[in-house]
Amino acid sequence: MNNSPLNQSPSHSPLPETIHRFSFTGTGGGYFPIWLTNLALTVITLGIYGAWAKVRKERYFHEHTHLNGSSFEYTANPISILKGRLIVFGIFIIFAVTQTIPFVNIFVLLLLFIAAPKIVTQAIKFRARYTNYRNIPFRFSGTYGRTFIYFFLLRIPAVLTLGLLFPWVKHAERKYLVDNLGYGKTNFSFGASVKTFYKCYLSAAVFLLLPLTIFILRSLVATFFDVEKLPGTIENGLTPQSGSTILELISGSVGAIALVASFFVVFSVGIPLVKVLLARATWSNTSIGSFKVTYNLTFWSYVGVLVTNILLLIVTLGLAAPFCMVRLFKYKIDRLSISGPTSIDEFVNARETELRAFGDEAADVYDLDIDFGL
Partner 1 sequence: MRARALYFNGETSRREDVELEFAPDNSITLLKNSGSRHWPIGTYHFDLPIGKSAIRIRGPEGSLVEAPYASELYEALRSISTKQEKVVSALEERWPAALGLFGLAVLVCACLYLYGLPIASRTIKPFIPFKLKQFVGEQVLTLYEKAGIGQSQLSEIQKAQFMKAASDLTTAAAFPFEIEITTREWKLHGTEIENAFALLPEKIVVSDALVNHLSIDETQAIVAHEIGHLYYDHGTEHLIRSSLVSILSIALFGGDPGTVQAVAFAMLDAKYSQSHETEADLYATALLKKINKRPQLLGEALKKITADSPEYMHEKYFSSHPLTSERKKRLETE
* Of 297 and 350, CB closest to partner 1: 350
Q: Does 130 bind partner 1 (CB under 8 A)?
A: no
Burial class (CB in 10 A: 0-12, 13-18, 19+), 351: exposed
CB 299 within 8 A of CB 277: yes
- Angle between the 28-44 and 321-333 helix axes, to the nearest 10 degrees? 130
Which of 60, 66, 59 minimizes the C-alpha distance to 24? 66
Which residue of 22, 24, 26, 189 would you call a contact of partner 1, by CB under 8 A?
26
- DSSP letter for each residue of 195-258: HHHHHHHHHHHHHHTHHHHHHHHHHHHHHH--TTTPPP-TTTT--TTHHHHHHHHHHSHHHHHH
Question: How far apart are the C-alpha atoms of 366 and 85, rounded to whole Å?
Answer: 8
Which residue of 7, 13, 23, 32 would you call a contact of partner 1, by CB under 8 A?
32
Which residue of 96, 110, 164, 307 would you call a contact of partner 1, by CB under 8 A?
96
* Of 130 and 197, CB closest to partner 1: 130
- Of the candidate spans 26-34, 117-125, 153-161, 276-284, the one that interacts with partner 1 by CB under 8 A turns out to be 26-34
CB 296 within 8 A of CB 332: no
Residues 47-86 that bind partner 1 (CB under 8 A): 47-48, 50, 52, 56, 59-60, 63-64, 69-71, 73, 85
CB 242 within 8 A of CB 232: yes
Which residue of 15, 19, 40, 202 would you call a contact of partner 1, by CB under 8 A?
40
* Of 228 and 369, CB closest to partner 1: 369
Q: How far is the CB of 219 from partner 1 (least distance, A)?
A: 21
Burial pattern 221-233, b for ≥16 Cβ within 10 A else e, equals bbeebebeebebe
Q: How far is the CB of 206 from partner 1 (least distance, A)?
A: 29
Q: How far is the CB of 323 from partner 1 (least distance, A)?
A: 13
- Of the candidate spans 31-39, 160-168, 223-231, 277-285, the one that interacts with partner 1 by CB under 8 A turns out to be 31-39
Task: Give the length of the chain.
Answer: 374
Q: How far is the CB of 314 from partner 1 (least distance, A)?
A: 10
Q: Which amino acid is at 305?
A: V
Residues 311-350 that bind partner 1 (CB under 8 A): 317-318, 344-349
Question: How far apart are the C-alpha atoms of 280 and 274, rounded to whole Å?
Answer: 10
List the end-to-end C-alpha distance of the chain, in Å, as a whole number.
Answer: 27
Which residue of 89, 263, 264, 267 would you call a contact of partner 1, by CB under 8 A?
89
Contact residues for partner 1, defined by CB under 8 A: 26, 30-34, 36-37, 39-44, 46-48, 50, 52, 56, 59-60, 63-64, 69-71, 73, 85, 89, 92-93, 96, 100, 133-136, 184, 317-318, 344-349
